[in-house]
Amino acid sequence: MDVDSPIFDVGPIVQKFYQLLARYETFPAAKNFFGVQINHIPAAINDDHVKELGFGRTDSRGIHAVKPQFESMIGSGDTPMLIATGVDLNTEKTTVTSQSEPYKNGLLPTGPYTTGHEYGDQDLDIQFLETNISFIDGIIRPWIQLYSTYGNMQLNLDEPKLSTNIDVIFTSRQLPEYLQKDTSHPVMRKIYKYYNCIPHEITSANVNEYTGDFETGSISTKWRFSRYDVITPTA
């Protein structure tokens, strides 16, 4: 027997979907509207400390000259770090196993069971745009070198503190663009707050063969942290 499907006049299905969402507080948000705020660059990241460890290069530009060029992008103000072009946030999971043993005595098995909880406290990835004054080589590289020697324990008061805090702020438009005329006021939808962060790896410099064309690009860095929070603002 043939069964005829009912015919609905749904119109543009995607547009109707977004119109339906507009009736509620939730709405589609772009994953790539974000800003990175590094709270501060530790004072211990300086030429004297690096040269004491044998890492310093006497003919280099010098950390003291590079640091001021990025001070306007560092801090807890309203301006994000404009050269931070990409982020890859940490994962989180609870390991779960099911009960597979047969129960012949009539008791019902319980489960599933949680066997562990973990989050990657060393896989925060931030990509920085390479500029004529390199943030990677002027700040991040000596930072990693100092971390390799001092760590982050600070067993003695004279050991340098190398950690900072990082916020990754995600914003969105109040409504999909075609449903409103004024799209100039983004809203803050969530903030990832990472505490006691230290870079530990420059993943790749991505240097390609020169072909005569001008190419820009970003370099990826990995950071470790002690803990993190995810904040969803109420207003």
Tens-digit pLDDT profile for residues 105-140: 666 666 677 777 777 788 899 999 988 888 998 899
Tell me if 44 sits within 8 A of 162, measured CB to CB.
yes
Residue matched to tokens 């001092």: 150
At residue 5, the pLDDT reads 46
**Which of 57-61, 190-194, 206-210 is predicted least confidently?**
57-61
139's torsion region: left (phi>0), alpha (psi -120 to 50) or beta?
Answer: alpha
Tell me if 99 sits within 8 A of 110, measured CB to CB.
yes
Distance CA 28, CA 176 (A): 7
Residues 6+ apart with CB under 8 A from 50: 56, 63, 142, 145, 146
DSSP H or E segment with residue 191: strand 187-204
Beta strands in 39-123 (DSSP E): 84-88, 92-97, 113-119
